[in-house]
């Protein structure tokens, strides 16, 4: 599916957006951790995107009973306990999801059976040595495709008894941290994970909800599998997932750039390890306020945005807290004043695509000026834009950033193969329609 964006004259710039979909990271963890629990758990505002549907399918093929109510965004999971998964008949397929493959590999490593886990052509290019090294140190047996000093999917995981480790994370990756935490549920003694820099803490929060044997002291995590996972409050088995701030970010940026706009995004996840994008945009002098804040297992609130003149920044720290928002931030920077610099973000090279290359390509196609570094980029806004055509190479966030860029610039753009948007934001186009944006799906 290709999408053509046209200049829109009557954009509905005063709008309340109440259907940003559920958080992807939390939806994955909802399925993964509830499946291993002793409870029957219901989640609302679950993200029914391709990535999360693949996680559901994987746990169904591992013997977990999961009922889905897609139109109402609800899911009900009947946990089988830590030792209740059954061998899958076929290879497990995560599609495009790095979170699924890395988190689930941690669980498969501790099973009594062998399994193979793989995904699409983008997943087969994503490095897995980062998880294989600590898992092997815990006693796991994993085979993958060796290439260029790394290991890639498909991964054959021969389940084995796991032992505890003490591990200093070499990179601030929530997927790596979560993989080790989930594997440590299968080792009785205490695993200690040291972090130089913290990253999103959804696994920690979800495991706490299920009363795991988990202690967090500053940047150190101590966890062991000595306990069954069982909801802290056995009466509250219905859990509401907040909407995804990474998806909201596309409309935050659009609202800031469009003239005379006033958008309100409802019920957005404001976990402090995820809401850095809002802080950055505020620091760029974006008019953003958060209201109706509520502190639940995952904090949430509404985000109000008004048209703003953005001032660009140099950012080289806290990258894990807004890593997924860097493509749309690059689009925002093209409309800002002054140089915009991102450094220390080499992890962007190994996301759904090489996102530094993809951002450089997008900015140049839009008519902007950008320098590429190994660990980031520098944008000098030109104030000039042009019509463009782009293939996002299976990367949902690049596809959506390109679409928002075209709308904000008032240009015509052909974005090829944008089915990948279904990875994280299945109703993206329906929100464009509500904003009265002109587009054709080809
Ligand atoms: C995620 C962690 C991040 C992020 C990804 C989702 C998660 O990846 O980029 O989209 O849900 O744990 P890394 O942990 O590899 O940085």
Atom of ligand 1 nearest to the CA of 351: 9
Average confidence (pLDDT) over 277-305: 97
Give the model's confidence band at 46: pLDDT under 50 very low, under 70 low, under 90 confident, else very high: very high
**CA 176 to ligand 1 center in whole angstroms:** 9
Compute the mean pLDDT over every residue in the chain, rounded to the nearest whole number: 97
- Check pLDDT > 90 for residue 224: yes
Q: What is the CATH number of domain 3-17+271-282+310-441?
A: 3.65.10.10
Res 442: pLDDT: 96
The helix/strand/coil state of 88 is: coil
So where are the chain's domains? 3-17+271-282+310-441, 24-239
- The token pair that represents 259 in the structure block: 């003239």
Res 226: pLDDT: 83
The tens digit of pLDDT for each residue in 309-322 reads 999 999 999 999 99
Query: In sequence order, which residues have a C-beta less than 8 Å from that of residue 22 and are 6 or more positions away?
Result: 45, 46, 47, 73, 241, 242, 243, 244
Give how far the C-alpha of residue 361 lies from the chain's centroid of Cα atoms, to the nearest Å: 22
The tens digit of pLDDT for each residue in 354-377 reads 999 999 999 999 999 999 999 999
Res 240: pLDDT: 97
Q: What is the DSSP letter of 79?
A: -
Helices (H), 42-144: 50-61, 98-108, 129-137
247 lines ligand 1 (CB under 6 A): no
- Residues catalogued as catalytic: 324
Give the model's confidence band at 236: pLDDT under 50 very low, under 70 low, under 90 confident, else very high: confident
Res 24: pLDDT: 98
Query: In sequence order, which residues have a C-beta less than 8 Å from that of residue 341 and are 6 or more positions away?
Result: 313, 314, 315, 316, 376, 377, 378, 379
**CA 15 to ligand 1 center in whole angstroms:** 30
- What pTM was estimated for this model as a whole? 0.98
Q: Do domains 3-17+271-282+310-441 and 24-239 have the same CATH topology?
A: yes
Which CA distances in Å does 73 have to 35, 50, 64, 286, 396? 18, 13, 19, 32, 21
324 lines ligand 1 (CB under 6 A): yes
CATH class of 24-239: alpha beta
Atom of ligand 1 nearest to the CA of 203: 12
Res 233: pLDDT: 84
Res 155: pLDDT: 98
């Amino acid at each position: 599916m290709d999408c053509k964006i046209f200049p829109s004259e009557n954009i509905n710039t005063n709008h309340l957006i109440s259907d940003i979909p559920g958080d992807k990271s939390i939806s994955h963890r909802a399925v993964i951790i509830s499946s291993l629990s002793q409870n029957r758990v219901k989640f609302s505002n679950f993200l029914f995107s391709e990535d999360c549907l693949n996680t559901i399918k994987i746990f169904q093929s591992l013997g977990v009973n999961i009922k889905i109510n897609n139109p109402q965004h609800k899911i009900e999971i009947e946990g089988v306990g830590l030792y209740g998964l059954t061998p899958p008949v076929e290879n497990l397929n995560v599609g495009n999801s790095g979170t699924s493959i890395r988190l689930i590999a941690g669980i498969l490593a501790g099973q009594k059976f062998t399994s193979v886990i793989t995904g699409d052509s983008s997943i087969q290019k994503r490095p897995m040595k980062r998880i294989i090294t600590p898992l092997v140190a815990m006693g796991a047996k994993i085979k993958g495709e060796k290439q260029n000093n790394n290991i890639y999917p498909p991964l054959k995981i021969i389940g084995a008894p796991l032992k505890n480790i003490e591990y200093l994370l070499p990179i601030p990756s929530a997927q790596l941290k979560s993989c080790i935490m989930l594997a440590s549920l299968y080792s009785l003694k205490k695993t200690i994970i040291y972090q130089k820099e913290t990253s999103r803490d959804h696994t920690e929060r979800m495991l706490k909800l299920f009363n795991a044997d988990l202690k967090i002291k500053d940047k150190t995590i101590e966890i062991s599998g000595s306990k069954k996972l069982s909801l802290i409050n056995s009466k509250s088995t219905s859990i509401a997932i907040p909407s995804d701030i990474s998806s909201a970010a596309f409309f935050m940026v659009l609202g800031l750039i469009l003239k005379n706009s006033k958008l309100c995004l409802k019920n957005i996840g404001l976990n402090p390890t995820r809401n850095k994008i809002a802080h950055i945009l505020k620091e760029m002098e974006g008019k953003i306020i958060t209201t109706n804040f509520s502190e639940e297992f995952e904090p949430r609130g509404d985000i109000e945005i008004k048209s703003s003149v953005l001032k660009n920044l140099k950012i080289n720290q806290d990258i894990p807290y807004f890593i997924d928002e860097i493509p749309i931030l690059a689009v925002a920077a093209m409309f800002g004043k002054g140089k915009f610099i991102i450094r220390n973000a080499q992890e962007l090279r190994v996301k759904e695509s090489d996102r530094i290359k993809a951002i450089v390509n997008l900015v140049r196609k839009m008519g902007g000026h950008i320098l590429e570094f190994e660990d980031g980029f520098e944008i000098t806004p030109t104030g000039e834009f042009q019509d463009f055509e782009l293939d996002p190479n299976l990367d949902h966030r690049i596809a959506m950033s390109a679409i928002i860029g075209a709308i904000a610039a008032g240009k015509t753009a052909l974005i090829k193969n944008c089915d990948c948007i279904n990875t994280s934001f299945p109703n993206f186009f329906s929100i464009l329609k509500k904003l009265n944006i002109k587009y054709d799906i080809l």
